[in-house]
Chain A
């Protein structure tokens, strides 16, 4: 199954919902627009953005005389794709590179680090994992399992150690070894706990300061099932840490990833990767148009 199919099957639920609308005869009436707005809302896009997108499409339909469902679908996919910013640089390809993963609890940071390490190793890059989640029980063990699977060394300290000092160690070790890709996992935290956010800001600052030999990228990992709170999360993390981009995980369920669109629209952050499955290869490069086409149910 190719990437596009996988993504499509992951997004099938929202696609079916949108298809329902598009197949409702050729007639495009007031109900059509209302239903379209609801469907976009159901994709976790947020009420405001959904309304704006629908209004835009409506205007465009009138202007360009689009009356057929497939025309509208194509226009909608392109319209949605515009909301995404493209990344100037891929921090996982353009090496040497140091990437810090941040996010709330359970977003999938550790798993993402594990998968990316395995991928980099497979491509012949020298990779190093930093375990700066010294808070959660067994987070280090979990990372070490991933490290062993991927054949990548994990640099960390005992539970309860200062995460900033772990980052310092990791960067030092990476420079000594000449590692090409450094992936640092941090402890999950809610964006509302100000003490923990300050701690994370320190971790990021120490890493940015210490790491002079390669660019440091700070990536927010966000769960595709997240609702409107995802926007608040992204804003807080961005304010505290000056994020570089996003990774959206768990797109393989019936989740829609509409929140990614809302975040990208509001904060202008590029999406580096999306997780569309369980295995190592299921972390894919993000393509806005493909994503949106799959979302509105358009064939290849």
Chain B
């Protein structure tokens, strides 16, 4: 749905090719594209206006206008500006040294993910050697305390619930509880509230006064639209906060709100929350966020995701493959990993220029993966382990079993053969081998990458990530 900014700018400048030199009018066209990209990413429109104005000024220098690659230059300027605005350094949680327990308070709208974030933060701090206590001060939403208690049990952090009625009382009691149980950090989870709900805002202020938190973090949903400015402004005025946790960034929201928050309140984004699991709270990286807002592909994100799904078992499997060759089960495994990462289309679109390549190919046919899976599932255990034994009769049976044609089974076996060949060459290269062989292998590795072309998601040698 969204084209990345660099592609749009490329298109814009493609039309201007042959003009020799860019004029201010050309830059205006480019700035309009930037404006639309930022609006699509939910950056507040006032922030967009200011941002675009300052970018335009920078782009109107002779350096950019006369350069041979104006599109790249404009993108670089926009990206640098955006990264700078988002905060040039990673901001970490600041804890007071001379106070025990430290108190962290979480605030935010309903459904922004405070309770989940509280548990994630507790998990993170526990991993750093702290002994956190969770205080369930959301006394409004039914069963909110139960939710926190369940999460607390899962991550092994104790939860103080108090009487579950008076949020302020629960908050102040939790401090005593922490002192008694030698917890060095208290994380106060509060009820979600609308910024225009006076009564609820007063409750938040009352909790703040009662526990005097060292850090107040506001949890902001990455999917929030233009309204985010009103929300953070009011929260900043009434309760004031030190930093922001952006939640639900594991979706495909571009998270332009991060820029609005910075621009309007000047508060740093401290953490990003990327999923359901307790370990999915990560430190905020302004450069990655800038690229995400502009829809420019998150290469680091993909690498990290790949690392996450590749567990020790699979590393062992890779070693075994090198030793004994590549089986159909391995192929199946690889395809399931691609699935886990969200499918071929998602992986490719996260690579720079990937969306453009995909559009040229007419999209990716994910169903080819399922067809291969079906064929492999129709093989016996022995056939999967030693595909060489698959003769004509077996091919016929596999084809019938998976509802595919014999030709398709043949194609699959051929691909397996190629991959296996490659694997044995790799084996030779890892066990010593000449310089020439090693060079050969390097070029092979290159071929295994995306360059090989993957029409319809298949046909190439390109499952190996």
Instruction: Report B235-260 residues with CB < 8 Å from chain A CB.
Output: 248, 250-254, 256-257
Given A190-B248, A192-B250, A192-B252, A106 contacting B143 (CB threshold 8 A): no
Task: Assess the A142–B251 pair: CB atoms within 8 A.
Answer: no
Contact residues of A between 194 and 250, Cβ < 8 Å to B: 194-195, 223, 225-233, 235, 250
**B223 interface neighbour in A194, A229, A235, Cβ under 8 Å:** A229
- Within the complex, which residue of A138, A141, A190, A256 is in contact with B251, where a contact is CB–CB below 8 Å? A190
B171 interface residue (CB < 8 Å to A): no
Could you tell me if B150 and A138 are in contact, using CB atoms closer than 8 angstroms? yes
Which residues of chain B (107-163) have a CB below 8 Å from chain A?
109-113, 141-144, 146-151, 154
Q: Which chain B residues lie closer than 8 Å to A142 at the CB level?
A: 141-144, 146-147
Q: A136 at interface (Cβ–Cβ under 8 A)?
A: yes
A241 to B228, CA, bound (A): 30
Report the separation of the CA atoms of residues A26 and B370 in the bound assembly, to the nearest whole angstrom: 63
Q: How near does chain B come to A104, taking the closest CB pair, in angstroms? A: 7
Q: Shortest Cβ distance from A121 into chain B, in angstroms?
A: 17
Q: Are B250 and A253 in contact (CB under 8 A)?
A: no
User: CB-nearest residue of chain A relative to B154?
Assistant: A137
Q: Report which of A146, A191, A256 forms a contact with B226, defined as CB distance below 8 A.
A: A256
B residues less than 8 Å from A288 (CB atoms):
none
- Cβ–Cβ contact B254 & A229, under 8 A: yes
Cα distance A254–B194 when bound, in Å?
9
Do A227 and B224 touch across chains, with their CB atoms under 8 A apart?
Answer: yes
Whether A38 and B45, one on each chain, are in contact in the complex, defined by CB atoms closer than 8 angstroms, is yes
Alpha-carbon separation in the docked complex, A159 to B151 (Å): 13
Contact partners of A296 in chain B: CB under 8 A: none
Cβ B342 vs Cβ A194 within 8 A: yes
Given A137-B151, A138-B143, A194-B342: A105 and B248 interface contact (C-beta under 8 Å): yes
Interface residues on A, range: 35 or more
Confirm or deny: B230 has a beta carbon within 8 angstroms of a beta carbon on chain A.
yes
Report Cα–Cα, A233/B112, bound state, in Å: 16
**From A41, A231, A258, residue with most partner B Cβ within 10 Å:** A41
B225 at the interface (CB under 8 A from A): yes
* A274 in the interface (beta carbon within 8 A): no
B189 CB within 8 Å of chain A: no
Q: Give A259 to B147 CA distance when docked, in angstroms.
A: 30
Provide the bound-state CA to CA distance between A145 and B45, in Å.
Answer: 41
| B residues in contact with A185, CB < 8 Å | none
Residues of B within 8 A of A230 (CB): 223, 225
A91 proximal to B (CB < 8 A): no
Cα–Cα, bound, A145→B140 (Å): 12
From B225, which residue of chain A is reached at the shortest CB distance?
A227
C-alpha gap A220/B224 in the complex (Å) = 17
Q: In the assembled complex, how far is the CB of residue A201 from the closest CB belonging to chain B, in whole angstroms?
A: 15
B147 near A190: Cβ-Cβ < 8 Å: no
Q: Is B95's beta carbon under 8 Å from chain A?
A: no
Q: How far is the CA of A190 from the CA of B251 in the complex (A)?
A: 6
Comparing B34-42, B281-289, B436-444, B446-454, the segment that makes contact with chain A is B34-42
Partner of B41, one of A137, A192, A228: A228
- State the CA gap A43–B42 with chains docked (Å): 11
Contacts of B1 in A (CB 8 A): 231-232, 235
Number of A-B contacts (CB under 8 A): 152
Q: How many Å from the CB of A267 to the closest CB on chain B?
A: 13
In the assembled complex, the Cα of A250 lies from the Cα of B195 at a distance in Å of: 12
Q: Does B339 contact A (CB under 8 A)?
A: yes
Distance in angstroms between the alpha carbons of A58 and B42 in the assembled complex: 25
In the bound complex, how far is the Cα of B42 from the Cα of A44, in angstroms?
A: 8
For B340-362 the 0/1 string (1 means CB < 8 A from A) is 10110010000000000000000
Q: Which residues 5-64 in A have Cβ within 8 Å of B in the complex? A: 13, 38, 41-44, 46-47
- Whether A225 and B225, one on each chain, are in contact in the complex, defined by CB atoms closer than 8 angstroms, is yes
The CA of A142 and the CA of B140, in the complex, are separated in Å by 11
Contact B252 A137 (CB under 8 A): no
Please determine whether B42 and A227 come into contact, CB atoms closer than 8 angstroms: yes
What chain A residues lie within 8 Å of B110 (beta carbons)? 106, 108, 250
> Smallest Cβ distance from A261 to chain B, in angstroms?
12
Q: Is the Cβ of A47 less than 8 Å from the Cβ of B36?
A: yes
Shortest B159–chain A CB gap in Å is: 11
**Contact assessment for B226 and A42 in the assembled complex, using a CB-CB cutoff below 8 Å:** yes
Give the chain B neighbours of A254 by CB distance below 8 A: 195-196, 227, 230-231
CA distance A121 to B203 in the complex (A): 32
> Is A107 at the interface (CB under 8 A from chain B)?
yes
Across-interface contacts of B250 in A (CB, < 8 A): 190, 192-193
In the assembled complex, the CB of B229 is this many whole angstroms from the nearest CB of chain A, namely 9
Q: Would A226 and B142 be within 8 Å (CB), given that A106-B113, A138-B150, A250-B110 are in contact?
A: no
A137–B141 Cα distance when bound, in Å, is: 13
- What is the CA–CA distance of A241 and B231 in the complex, to the nearest angstrom? 33
| CB-contacts of B1-59 with A (<8 A) | 1, 36, 39-42, 44-45
Question: Are A105 and B225 touching (Cβ within 8 A)?
Answer: no
Would you call B225 and A259 a contact (CB within 8 A)? yes
**Residue of B at shortest CB range from A187?**
B276
Q: In the complex, are the beta carbons of B147 and A137 less than 8 A apart?
A: yes
Check B224 against A225 for contact (C-beta < 8 Å).
yes
Given A229-B251, A232-B252, A254-B196, do A41 and B39 touch, yes or no (CB 8 Å)? Answer: yes
The CA of A108 and the CA of B194, in the complex, are separated in Å by 14
Q: Contact: B45 with A105, CB < 8 Å? A: no
Contacts of A183 in B (CB 8 A): none
Q: Is the CB of B342 within 8 A of A255?
A: no
Contact assessment for B251 and A104 in the assembled complex, using a CB-CB cutoff below 8 Å: yes
B248→A104 contact, CB < 8 A: yes
Q: State the CA gap A67–B97 with chains docked (Å).
A: 65
B110, B154, B196, B226 — which one has the most chain A CB atoms within 10 A of its CB? B226
How long is the Cα–Cα vector from A227 to B42 in the complex, in angstroms? 6
Q: Could you pull out 5 A-B pairs where Cβ atoms are within 8 angstroms? A: A42-B226, A44-B227, A192-B342, A225-B224, A253-B195
A sample of 12 more A-B contacts (CB under 8 A), given A43-B226, A142-B141, is A38-B45, A41-B45, A46-B40, A106-B113, A108-B110, A141-B142, A141-B146, A190-B250, A191-B252, A195-B339, A228-B254, A252-B196
What is the interface of chain A, defined by CB distance below 8 A to chain B?
13, 38, 41-44, 46-47, 104-108, 114, 136-139, 141-142, 144-146, 159, 190-195, 223, 225-233, 235, 250, 252-256, 258-259
Would you list the 4 A-B pairs with minimal beta carbon distance, nearest first?
A227-B225, A106-B111, A227-B42, A145-B142
